[in-house]
Amino acid sequence: MSGKIITIAQQKGGSGKTTLAAHLAVALSRQSVLGARARVALLDCDPQGSLGEWFEAREATLGEDGTGLSFRTASGWGARREARSLARDYSFVVIDTPPKSDVESRPAIEVADLVAVPVQPTPIDLWATRPTLEMISKEGTSCLLVINRAQSRAALTQEMGIAIEALGHPAARARLGNRVGFAASMGRGLTLLETEPGSKGAAEIEALAAELRDLLAK
């Protein structure tokens, strides 16, 4: 049985792709698949290499054998091959992609079982998401919007809800709040799940991982 490939894509920079990729990978590695802990690989297709820096910091903090994840890089069409190869050995492959690059993102979108699109709930961010969603539709891959940096549950106004719906793609039930811990935990190669276990933010990312796992199991 082949593992599932989740690509994190969004042409708008700063939307939370890398933060989401790292947090999702750690959250998924704690999910069980067929009674065993899920094996998770991260694949960085962003030449900027932020996720790689995070992973190196993770190795420094937890030791090379203590990260609980595998990490690879790829560029362009190499991503497709690398992702398929990783999916033979891992339950989940999580791919981080660069902003504003069709060439780098398209293969990662094409190979995915599901594309998660982080989006901040503001009108400008929603408008900027359209080209990404069009590219995903063109590749025929299913996608899920992930509301990131929501100010509070109440602040996601009805108006925003309607605007999100108007994009014509489903949004995850789980949302990630705007929490310092999501950003701060990354510096030492960790995630909020490790720096603030049991926190609201940890519960949010756990809920999202469970939602994606269930969606992909269908």
Ligand X SMILES: Nc1ncnc2c1ncn2[C@@H]1O[C@H](COP(=O)(O)OP(=O)(O)O)[C@@H](O)[C@H]1O
CA 69 – CA 180 distance, rounded (Å): 24
**Does residue 6 touch ligand X according to CB under 6 A?**
no
Which of Mg ion, ligand X, none does residue 120 bind to, with CB < 5 to 8 Å depending on kind? none
Q: Quote the strand ranges of the chain, DSSP E.
A: 4-8, 32-33, 36-37, 40-44, 70-73, 92-96, 114-119, 143-147
**Does residue 18 touch ligand X according to CB under 6 A?**
yes
Q: Nearest residue by C-beta to ligand X?
A: 183
**Does residue 132 touch ligand X according to CB under 6 A?**
no
**Does residue 15 touch ligand X according to CB under 6 A?**
yes
Q: Which is nearer to ligand X, 3 or 16 (CB)?
A: 16
Which parts of 159-188 interact with ligand X (CB under 6 A)?
176, 178-179, 182-183
CA 177 – CA 121 distance, rounded (Å): 11
Distances (CA, A) of 8 to 51, 93, 114, 136: 12, 11, 9, 11
What's the helix, strand, coil split of the chain in %, to 5?
Answer: 50, 15, 35
Which of Mg ion, ligand X, none does residue 13 bind to, with CB < 5 to 8 Å depending on kind? ligand X
CB of 65 to ligand X, least distance (A): 26
Query: Which residues contact ligand X by CB under 6 A?
Result: 10, 13-19, 50, 99, 148-149, 176, 178-179, 182-183
